[in-house]
Amino acid sequence: MTDRVKNEELTDVCDRFFEQLDLYSEKDIKRRASFWPLQMLLLILCPKILEEVVNADSGAPLSTRHTRKRRFIDEVKKSLATSSHGSKQMTEAAAVTAIKLCRASTYVNIRDSSHIIFQLVQSVVSDLRFLMFNPAKPFARNQATVLQDAELMTDCFVSLFRITPHSTDAIKVFRKN
């Protein structure tokens, strides 16, 4: 019983914290970009809310309380998908956010393939892979972040490999044509 109460308390706190960060960063793109990874991790700690938000894409009902969360996930996906056309800052934030999501998913039992986090990861993985490992346009923010970018790429590669260990998609990026 206490575990259930603790989980409900954690969900409630994470939910409220997510909302506060979203409100605080609403009109400031720099804040929004820096808060996105944290907001994704907060959503992961609220699996029931995350499930409702992700399932809304397929027509499931969505509570009005969670419209900000759905908008957030849609913005992350859109920023990843429009990497060459959108704001560079938001594309970079989306990449970091998606990598955090992928990394967090590696801590969920791979045999539990129906877990909602895997569904969300699958919706961003191809855009993330293209952004991070595109030989025509390598991922690099600037000279000052070269080491951080290499760390991000490593986290991304390892996470993608752990998510689908039997797939060679993660390795194909490094093969010469």
Name the more confident of 78 and 148.
Answer: 78
pLDDT in tens, 131-155: 888 878 877 777 777 788 889 989 9
The confidence score (pLDDT) of residue 71 equals 94
Sketch the domain layout of the chain as residue ranges: 2-128
pLDDT digits (tens, 9 = 90+) for 111-134: 776 788 989 999 999 999 888 888
* pLDDT (mean) for 45-51: 90
Encoded tokens for 167? 């797939």
Distance CA 66, CA 53 (A): 7
pLDDT at 94 over 70: yes
Write down the pLDDT at residue 108: 86
d(CA 169, CA 161): 8
